[in-house]
């Protein structure tokens, strides 16, 4: 009796939890990126953390748009008559746009970091704050 419950529990674990590994990877990447944004003092590392976080969001939305057994959303009479299931193209299109925005954001952030380094001589956040406090006095 106990063995049967254990087997049922393991089946549930594999079918409900581990089968959705892409969502788990997305959450893990999100946490890694968020940790890098919050905990790191170096501005370049913060940008890398932001990019990791954005990648997790991309993976999550692409995973939401996937349909098992779905075909490409190309219209033809043969596909319609056979009743194929289509994959929703909207999440993929939105993510392509988001990737472009992410690259542009990273480029602007890196250019600002270069300017900050020229002005303060460092890219460490705590040192920049110290220099700002000294300049206020």
User: pLDDT digit string (tens) for 89-127?
Assistant: 888 889 999 999 999 999 999 999 999 999 999 999 999
Residue 1 confidence class, pLDDT cut points 50, 70, 90: low
Instruction: Give the pLDDT confidence score for residue 53 in this predicted structure.
Output: 97
> What's the DSSP call for residue 86?
B
CATH fit for domain 2-136, picks 3.40.47.10, 3.20.20.80, 1.10.287.3510, 2.60.40.10: 1.10.287.3510
Where along the chain do its domains lie? Answer: 2-136
**Which residues lie below 8 Å from residue 33, measured CB to CB, with a gap of 6+?**
49, 50, 51, 52, 53, 54, 55, 56
> What's the DSSP call for residue 84?
P
What CA–CA distance (Å, rounded) separates 43 from 48? Answer: 9
Instruction: Give the pLDDT confidence score for residue 7 in this predicted structure.
Output: 78
Instruction: Give the pLDDT confidence score for residue 69 in this predicted structure.
Output: 78
pTM (2 decimals)?
0.80
3-state secondary structure of 44: helix
Check pLDDT > 80 for residue 6. Answer: no
What tokens does 129 get? 């704050």
């Amino acid at each position: 009796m106990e063995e049967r419950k254990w087997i049922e529990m393991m089946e549930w674990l594999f079918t409900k939890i581990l089968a959705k590994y892409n969502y788990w990877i997305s959450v893990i990447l999100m946490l890694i990126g968020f940790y890098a944004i919050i905990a790191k003092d170096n501005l370049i590392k913060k940008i890398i953390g932001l990019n990791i976080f954005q990648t997790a969001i991309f993976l999550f939305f692409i995973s939401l748009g996937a349909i098992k057994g779905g075909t490409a959303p190309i219209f033809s009479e043969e596909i319609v008559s056979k009743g194929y299931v289509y994959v929703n193209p909207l999440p993929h299109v939105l993510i392509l746009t988001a990737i472009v925005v992410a690259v542009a954001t990273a480029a602007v952030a890196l250019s600002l970091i270069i300017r900050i380094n020229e002005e303060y001589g460092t890219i460490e956040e705590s040192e920049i704050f110290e220099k700002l406090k000294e300049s206020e006095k």
